[in-house]
Amino acid sequence: MATKRTLALILLVPFALLTLYAVQQVGYVGIFDYHRHSPAGWQVFADLVIALILVLSWLIPEARRAGRNPWPWVVATLFLGSFGPLLYLVFARVEGTAEGQA
C-alpha cells in the first residue's frame, strides 16, 4: 500500500496545483462549461465519467473490505473528480502496521 500511497501523492500534488490554477482562471463551473461546447469536449467529459465509475466500482468494495465507510470518498469523487480516489489512497491504512490494525 505504501507504493500506492506514494504514487497517489506524486499525482495529487501537481494535479492539485493545476486544478487550483484552472479554478483561479475560469472558476469551478468554468472547468465543466469548457467541455460543453464541442463533441470533443463531450467525449473527454464522458471518458472522465466512465473512468470514475470504474474507479468507484473498485473503491466501494475495497473500502468496505478495509472496514472504511466508502461514501465520503464517493461524494468526494462526484464533486471533485479524481481527488476522491487519490485522497482515498493517500489516507488508506497501511496493512501490517499499528495504523492499519483496528
25 lies in some domain: yes
8 lies in some domain: yes
The grid coordinates of residue 26 equal 475560469
CB-based contacts of 7: which residues, under 8 Å, 6+ apart? 89
How does pLDDT run across 72-100, given as a tens digit for each residue? 999 999 999 999 999 999 998 755 444 44
Segments forming the whole domain that contains residue 14: 2-90
97 lies in some domain: no
101 lies in some domain: no
Q: How far is CA 71 from CA 35, 91, 102, in A?
A: 27, 14, 20
Question: pTM of the predicted model, to two decimals?
Answer: 0.80
Cα 54 to Cα 9: distance, rounded to the nearest angstrom: 21
How does pLDDT run across 23-62, given as a tens digit for each residue? 999 998 888 888 888 899 899 999 999 999 999 999 999 9
Burial class (CB in 10 A: 0-12, 13-18, 19+), 65: exposed
98 lies in some domain: no
Cα 86 to Cα 8: distance, rounded to the nearest angstrom: 5
Number of independent structural domains in the chain: 1
